[in-house]
Structure 1
C-alpha cells in the first residue's frame, strides 16, 4: 500500500493526508470541511504558493500572469478549462506577477503568461506564451511523463 499523499487545501491551506486511491472520491479538508479539489485554478499569493509548493504531494501547474497582460487574460479561460481534466492528479494555480514580484524574479519569469510545472517542489517544465486548453493538457501530461 502506498503512503498517503499530502494535499494542501485550496481554501484554508491546511495540509491533509489522503490515500492516493481515494483522490477521485472527492475528499474534503479535515480543517475547514470544504472540497480539496474544486475543478478550477486556485489563486495564490507568494506565501500561499510557497506552502503549496513545499507541502503538496501532487504536481502544481502554475500560470504566472498579470492583470494588464492581454494574452494572459485571453489564456485564462483555457487554463480554467484544463482544471477539471487534470485534477486531482495536478493542482492548477494562478500567481500574479504583479502581486508576487519577488517570486517572479526568483523564478526568472521573464515573459507572461508563463506556465510552469512543479513536482516535489522543483520546476520540471516551463512554457511561455498563451496556448489553448488542448495544448495545456498535452504539454502538462508530457512534462509529467
Structure 2
C-alpha cells in the first residue's frame, strides 16, 4: 500500500490526501482545484497556522515577521526562493507577529525574523536572524531530516 500524506491547500485550507510518491507531480486540491504547492510561502493567520499545523503531513517552516521590520523585509525574497527549492518536502509559511501577537507570545518569539520548523504538530527547530536562501534551505532541510 502506498503511503499517503495529508496536505493542506494553501488556497482554501481543505485537507487533501496525496500519495507520498506523487508529491512532486503537481497535485491539486480536491475541493478548489488550486495547486497544493505554489513555490511560494503561504501567509497564515493564527487560526490558519493552527489548522495547517494540526493537519499537515509534511513539516511546516514558518517565518515570523513584521511589516515594520527592515531585516524581515530584507529576508523575504530569500524565503520566497527557498520555498521553490524546499517544496513539496516542506510547506513554507509566513506569520505576521503584528497580526498574530498572541501566537507569537505563546511560541516565545522574542526577535524577528525568526524561522521555526514544525513537524508532527510540534516545534522541532528554531533560527533567529536574517539568512540567505542557501542557509535557509540547508538549515531547514537538515532540521526536517532530523525531526
What are the Cα deviations for residues 67-95 of structure 1, in whole angstroms up to 9, with x where unaligned?
Answer: 00000000000000001110001000000
Please list every run of 5 or more consecutive structure 2 residues that lacks an aligned counterpart in the other structure: none
Give the Cα–Cα distance (whole angstroms) in 2 for the partners of residues 53 and 2 of structure 1.
23
Quote the residue 1:100 is aligned against. Answer: 100
* Other structure's SS at 1:32 match: coil
Report the equivalent of 1:13.
Answer: 13
1:81 lines up with 2:81 in the alignment: yes
Task: Give runs of aligned pairs for residues 8-87 of structure 1, distance below 5 A.
Answer: 8-87=8-87
Matched pairs, number: 145
How far apart are residue 119 of structure 1 and its match? 0.3
Give unpaired runs (5+ residues) of structure 1: none
Deviation digits for residues 10-40 of structure 1, max 9, x if unmatched? 0000000000001011000000001000000
TM-score w.r.t. structure 1 length? 0.98
* Residue 131 (structure 2) aligns with: 131
Q: What's the CA shift for 1:133? A: 0.2
Shift of 1:2: 3.9
Detail structure 1 runs of 4+ shifted over 3 Å in the superposition. none
Match in the other structure for 1:140: 140
Residue aligned with 1:142, SS: helix
Q: Which residue in the other structure is 2:119 paired with? A: 119
Alignment partner of 1:91 is 2:91: yes
Deviation at 1:3, TM superposition (A): 2.8
Q: RMSD over aligned Cα, in angstroms?
A: 0.7
